[in-house]
Amino acid sequence: MKGTWTRFAVRHYWLVIILWVVLIGATLPLAATVTKHLTTNGFEGPHSQVRWATNTLSTIHPPPGPQPFLIENLSQSRSAQVGRALTIPASAFHRVAHHDTLFMPPKTLTMSQSNALKSRLKTHGAQISSTGQLSIGKMVTHDASQTLATSGVVAMPVLAVLLLTVFGSVAAISLPLIIALAGSEIALAAVSIISRHMQLSVFLTDIVSFLALGVGVDYALFISTRFRQNLDDGKPVMEAVVDAMSHAGRSVLYSGVAVALAVATLMFGSDAYWRGLAVGGAVAIFAVLLATHTLMPAIMAAFNQRLHWGRIRRPDFHLWTRLSRFVTRRPVWAILIALAVLVPFARLAPQIRMSTPANLATMLPRTNPLRLAVEKQQALEGSGSIAPIAVVVRYPTAIKDLSSWQRVDRLTRHLETLPNVAAVASPTNLHVPLAELAMVSQHPGLAPAPLKHGLQNFLTPHDPRLVVVYVTAKTGPNNPSTSRLVGRIDRHLPHWVPAGTRAAAGGLVPVLRSFNLLTQSRIPWIVASALMVALVVLTAATRSIVQALLGVVFDALVGLATAGFMVFVDHHQLFGLERQPLDSSITPLIFVLLFGLSMDYEVILLHRMQERLIGGVEPRQAVQQGLATTGAMITGAGLIMVVVFLALLISPLQVMKTLGIGLSFAVLADTWVVRSLLVPSTTALLNRWGFWPWKPKPVAQGGLQES
């Protein structure tokens, strides 16, 4: 049965291609609406207290009030002149950078005045931007998505040259694009169905396209290279395709399963964000594998010899022949060189720090006007003013009588005694006697308009048992002291409220604190699971425990070196980065993708060595020939990935630059150091024990086969 589907696809290639076109056309509406059921949140645990508090907080709808906003393209004096016409004092306008001004509305300003000011400023050519954390968060998300969408376009000139050099012909370049597009479209359609039954994050759409392009290039390169080599050897198309799928296709299948399972380990993150990346990434890989093993044989058969069209002559410097001789004849030296590159960085790994910032403005460049505006707001109103901590409390009974308002007041006083608290906004701090609050609660129609307006910030008519108290910290949202304050609030709340009461801290700072703590606690599980996946898949692919163990050790070493390299970049502020912790939302992704993608190159290299051993070649010669024939292909595929990753440096966001730099170093270290030096040198040094317990077995015809 071996090669049955491949033979069918070659004989009926037009039928297979048409079926794929129909499949893509039928699933296109699903892929186009993939974001319909995805969430833009999902950074908190699905059943956590902070999620309950944050979701409950959204049910309270305080009356809209004037918010600080940034005025650009209009001088401070001109802005103040416009404000005077509305009786707004010039002191409300504060310079933040050059001719930009930040308007900080005083508490006495009405919403109508704020709207009128914005309208008049716009007529004078001013650009108005909200400085709220929600608006900045939307900007960060938009910039991140835009970077992922355009990075490939920006890298296209270099990518085109590199693809042409690696694939060797113009026609061959179309293969990875076809596979990547087909795979990503099917993946998005599948995710669209899955998201109707499971909460997933919208961020998965970017990782689907990102991974589909990356592995699509790799898999198409490995298989098409083998196919064209077979054609050059004079094999007919049928035999050339079957051989390519039997060998390179088999290697791709194992490596694809490894990548998909490695990405799926992000499910240990538990929340919708990591679950979205895990499901989206795994589905993308399986979709690309489906396209690779069904559509690609048909396309290769359709292209036939035309796959050589636009072929270029590539200079052969015999680099890999020379390097393969060196690592097999001087394996100890090759190992020492590799360790000399990786170990110094690996020693820095314990210094790595991770945290997703709660002050979202710090994700923007230092010179960004919005970031400068937020810093000005903090200087004027206090560091913690931009993201108050919302303490959400639901009492067993309605808050109507004097005793219930006394409970709210006691809670307020307890919160005020906590260290690092600058202010507490509570309905009992409205300078109204508690007895009057009780009377107003029982007879809302008797409440004066100002009091009724003020209570709307803390209460909701939909649930008379619910009250929200806002705590402003002395320190900024990113400061560890603010995170510790949230922890103290959550620890003390059960002792400060009566039995049967549910209470928790919600809002931006508690949500991202929860996300950071959860991610840090789950990283060991994620990394251990990825390494276990590598161990199992390598054992299944090579039937060698020795190679599987070596693969896991080398992957771990590259992972540590990558972490250390990011620490080195952070300490020296290279590539325009500033000193700040690595973002928790992308750091685990770097390591998981490293463990998964390294399987591509490992399986291809080891399978080529085993082919030579099966052919009767001595172990060291098999290692030499395996590296000599795959070195250029593996490092070329790695360089293609690096070009795509480095294109992320166009982003103004440090988080995207960090992702690009981390993945680029990981792939370069894996392809040029581990696969080119460590794996072949240790295998050559171990000689016949290098693939234990697997060994080639002689057959009657005088050849060898796998045992």
Summarize pLDDT for 181-192 with one digit per residue, the tens.
888 889 888 888
Count the Cβ atoms, other than its own, within 10 Å of residue 342: 23
Summarize pLDDT for 317-362 with one digit per residue, the tens.
678 899 999 999 999 999 999 999 999 999 999 998 888 888 888 8
Whether the predicted pLDDT of 137 surpasses 60? yes
Q: Say which range, 108-112, 502-506, 633-637, has the weakest mean pLDDT.
A: 108-112
Listing DSSP states for 256-312 in one string gives HHHHHHHHHGGGGG-SHHHHHHHHHHHHHHHHHHHIIIIIHHHHHHHHGGGGGTT--
What's the rounded mean pLDDT across residues 257-280?
A: 83
Query: What backbone torsions phi and psi does residue 699 show, to the nearest 5 degrees?
Result: -120, 175
Summarize pLDDT for 45-54 with one digit per residue, the tens.
667 888 888 8
Whether the predicted pLDDT of 19 surpasses 90? yes
Listing DSSP states for 558-605 in one string gives HHHHHHHHHHHHHHHTGGG--S-PBPTTTHHHHHHHHHHHHHHHHHHH
Summarize pLDDT for 496-550 with one digit per residue, the tens.
999 889 999 998 899 999 988 888 888 888 888 888 888 998 899 889 999 999 9
**CATH number 1.20.1640.10 given to 323-363+514-707:** yes
What is residue 45's predicted lDDT score, i.e. its pLDDT?
67
Whether the predicted pLDDT of 15 surpasses 90? yes
Summarize pLDDT for 402-428 with one digit per residue, the tens.
899 999 999 999 999 999 999 999 999
Q: Say which range, 61-65, 231-235, 434-438, has the weakest mean pLDDT.
A: 61-65
Q: Label residue 34 by pLDDT band (50, 70, 90).
A: confident
Task: Give the CATH number of domain 1-32+169-311; options: 1.20.1640.10, 3.40.50.460, 1.10.645.10, 3.40.190.150.
Answer: 1.20.1640.10
What is residue 430's predicted lDDT score, i.e. its pLDDT?
86
Whether the predicted pLDDT of 699 surpasses 50? no
What is residue 48's predicted lDDT score, i.e. its pLDDT?
80
What's the rounded mean pLDDT across residues 585-613?
A: 85
Residue 127 backbone zone (phi > 0: left; psi -120 to 50: alpha; other: beta): beta
Query: What is this structure's pTM?
Result: 0.84
Question: What gap in Å lies between CA 145 and CA 462, rounded to an integer?
Answer: 37
Q: Label residue 560 by pLDDT band (50, 70, 90).
A: very high
What is residue 702's predicted lDDT score, i.e. its pLDDT?
42
Summarize pLDDT for 122-135 with one digit per residue, the tens.
998 888 888 888 78
Q: Where is pLDDT greater, at 642 or 158?
A: 642
Average confidence score pLDDT of the chain: 85
What is residue 349's predicted lDDT score, i.e. its pLDDT?
92
CA-based nearest residue to 131, from 422, 360, 297, 338: 360
Question: How far out from the chain centre does Cα 475 lie?
Answer: 28
Whether the predicted pLDDT of 487 surpasses 90? yes
